[in-house]
């Protein structure tokens, strides 16, 4: 297969960007619980945000796999919290606006997202509604030229930095799925409040926050698509989100293998390198075998997505398989580091704690199995 030289150059440039602008500071950002706003501007200035946005909206119109590569490479370098942030902007919010937004919405928001001037968040989850999105209670009631929004959201990635919130709310509180709509909410409107930064067991540099909406007046023209169609839009766009999570998983597996290989070749025990022990060799070989299988599944789903043929069931199967594999492989690799693997100064520990949430967000793996089971066995 012929290599795309433009793509490889783009990847090399991004790897250099991570080495120069992220690696030296990432530990500090983890301690602060926040990636600085300045980095979003640098990402935009260097052309690393929403790269598949068409040129008429300020993007490059690059193929989608360019955007997907950025998420994978960020995770591979061990910066999963940043991968979640970039993925949220480029792989979640951007496609919603590109595919469903009005011309006015695209013209207004997309160029600012490409430049990094606007940071975005998608707000679905509530305290009592995670995977069961139909149970959300946040309301957006039409009153003249505005929707009046009341409610709260939790576990929102990019929550503190967000200038634009893609908000999932009930425009008909009596209905379930058919009462759900999506609004583009300017986070600077009166009544929008950002709560405390949530303390998590991993993704320490990712600003995850609670969001509160108290009588927020959102202009009617910021409704995304049609009223009452929100649930079907979510079903339409979730495959790209789950594919993005899968790319983070693959990158993390590959990155963890790289640093473990380096460690076992250098570290000695009982007078020989760890790489000489059969157990070490088999654990790493098994990890590599699983990485290759995972990569093949990812490439299949990327190809299907590029042809608008990726089904909800297939990407659910991928998300479940690859995130389970990620947690399993990284746990086994950490064991090869012994006590050092439990120390925060060793990057394998970050791969380990950052992996766990992958089986939860984007729809829990239990929900993914139910989706697959329904196709196999019926409801």
Q: Same domain, yes or no, for 216 and 261? A: no
Q: Same domain, yes or no, for 216 and 239? A: no
Q: Same domain, yes or no, for 307 and 348? A: yes
**Residues in Cβ contact with 174 at an 8 Å cutoff, skipping those fewer than 6 apart:** none
State the CATH number of the domain containing residue 58.
1.10.540.10
Q: Same domain, yes or no, for 197 and 213? A: yes
Q: Same domain, yes or no, for 205 and 262? A: no
Q: How many domains does the chain have?
A: 3
Cα–Cα nearest to 209, from 269, 130, 270, 122: 122
| Digit-coded pLDDT (tens) for 101-125 | 999 999 999 999 999 999 999 999 9
Q: Which of 118, 150, 185 is the last residue of a domain?
A: 118
Contact 358, 326 (CB under 8 A): yes
Q: Which of 118, 140, 166 is the last residue of a domain?
A: 118
Residues 224, 228, 231, 232: is their CA dihedral positive or negative? negative
Q: What element of type H or E holds 14?
A: helix 5-21
Rounded distance between C-alpha atoms, residue 228 and residue 174, angstroms: 12
| Digit-coded pLDDT (tens) for 296-310 | 999 999 999 999 999
Q: Same domain, yes or no, for 192 and 240? A: no
Cα–Cα nearest to 230, from 83, 355, 123, 347: 123
Tell me, yes or no, if 241 is annotated catalytic.
yes
Least confident of 118-132, 224-238, 258-272: 118-132
| Digit-coded pLDDT (tens) for 23-65 | 999 999 999 999 999 999 999 999 999 999 999 999 999 999 9
Domain encompassing residue 212: 121-227
Q: Same domain, yes or no, for 241 and 370? A: yes
CB atoms within 10 A of CB 3: 7
CB atoms within 10 A of CB 32: 14
Q: Same domain, yes or no, for 286 and 346? A: yes
pLDDT at 1: 39
Q: Same domain, yes or no, for 111 and 152? A: no
Q: What element of type H or E holds 374?
A: helix 365-377
Contact 327, 356 (CB under 8 A): yes
Chain CA centroid to CA 2, Å: 29
State the CATH number of the domain containing residue 271.
1.20.140.10
Q: pLDDT tier at 196 (50, 70, 90 boundaries)?
A: confident
Q: Check pLDDT > 80 for residue 132.
A: no
- pTM listed for this prediction: 0.95
| Digit-coded pLDDT (tens) for 166-183 | 999 999 999 888 999 999
Compute φ and ψ for 276, nearest 5 degrees: -85, -15
Chain CA centroid to CA 309, Å: 21
**Residues in Cβ contact with 55 at an 8 Å cutoff, skipping those fewer than 6 apart:** 61
Residue appearing with tokens 């709260």 = 152
Q: Same domain, yes or no, for 86 and 138? A: no
Catalytic entry in 30, 91, 126, 241: 241
Q: Same domain, yes or no, for 69 and 81? A: yes
Q: Same domain, yes or no, for 243 and 221? A: no
| Digit-coded pLDDT (tens) for 341-353 | 999 999 999 999 9
What secondary structure does DSSP assign to 100-165, as a single string? H--HHHHHHHHHHHHHTSS-EEEE--BTTBSS-GGG---EEEEETTEEEEEEEEEEEETTTT-SEE
Rounded distance between C-alpha atoms, residue 269 and residue 97, angstroms: 55
Q: Is 357 helix (H, G, I), strand (E, B) or coil?
A: helix
Q: Which of 200, 227, 254 is the last residue of a domain?
A: 227
Q: Is 311 helix (H, G, I), strand (E, B) or coil?
A: coil
Q: Is 197 helix (H, G, I), strand (E, B) or coil?
A: strand
Contact 87, 212 (CB under 8 A): no
Q: pLDDT tier at 3 (50, 70, 90 boundaries)?
A: low
DSSP 8-state symbol, 221? G
């Amino acid at each position: 297969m012929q290599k795309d030289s433009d793509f490889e150059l783009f990847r090399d440039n991004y790897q250099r960007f991570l080495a120069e602008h992220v690696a030296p500071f990432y530990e500090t950002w983890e301690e602060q619980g926040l990636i600085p706003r300045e980095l979003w501007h640098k990402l935009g200035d260097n052309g690393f945000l929403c790269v598949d946005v068409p040129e008429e909206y300020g993007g490059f119109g690059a193929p989608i796999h360019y955007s997907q590569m950025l998420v994978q490479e960020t995770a591979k370098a061990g910066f999963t919290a940043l991968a979640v942030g970039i993925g949220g902007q480029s792989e979640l919010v951007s496609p919603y606006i590109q595919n469903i937004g009005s011309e006015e919405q695209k013209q207004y928001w997309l160029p600012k997202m490409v430049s990094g001037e606007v940071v975005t968040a998608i707000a679905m989850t509530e305290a009592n509604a995670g995977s069961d999105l139909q149970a959300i209670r946040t309301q957006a009631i039409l009153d003249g030229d505005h929707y009046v929004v009341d409610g709260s959201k939790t576990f929102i990635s990019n929550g503190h930095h967000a200038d634009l919130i893609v908000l999932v709310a009930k425009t008909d509180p009596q209905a379930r799925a058919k009462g759900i709509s999506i609004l583009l909410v300017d986070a600077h409107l009166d009544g929008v409040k950002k709560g405390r930064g949530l303390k998590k067991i991993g993704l320490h540099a990712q600003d995850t926050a609670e969001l509160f909406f108290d009588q927020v007046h959102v202009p009617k023209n910021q409704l995304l698509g049609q009223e009452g169609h929100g649930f079907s839009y979510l079903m339409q766009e979730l495959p790209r989100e789950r594919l993005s999570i899968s790319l983070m998983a693959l990158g993390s597996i590959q990155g963890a293998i790289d640093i473990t290989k380096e460690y076992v070749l250098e570290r000695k025990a009982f007078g020989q390198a760890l790489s000489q022990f059969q157990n070490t060799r088999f654990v790493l070989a098994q990890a590599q075998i699983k990485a290759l299988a995972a990569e093949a599944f990812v490439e299949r789903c990327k190809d299907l997505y590029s042809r608008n043929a990726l089904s909800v069931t297939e990407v659910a199967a991928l998300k479940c398989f690859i995130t389970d594999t990620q947690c399993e492989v990284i746990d086994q690799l950490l064991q090869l580091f012994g006590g050092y693997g439990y120390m925060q100064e060793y990057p394998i520990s970050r791969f380990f704690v950052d992996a766990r949430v992958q089986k939860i967000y984007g729809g829990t793996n239990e929900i993914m199995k139910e989706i697959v089971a329904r196709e196999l066995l019926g409801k």
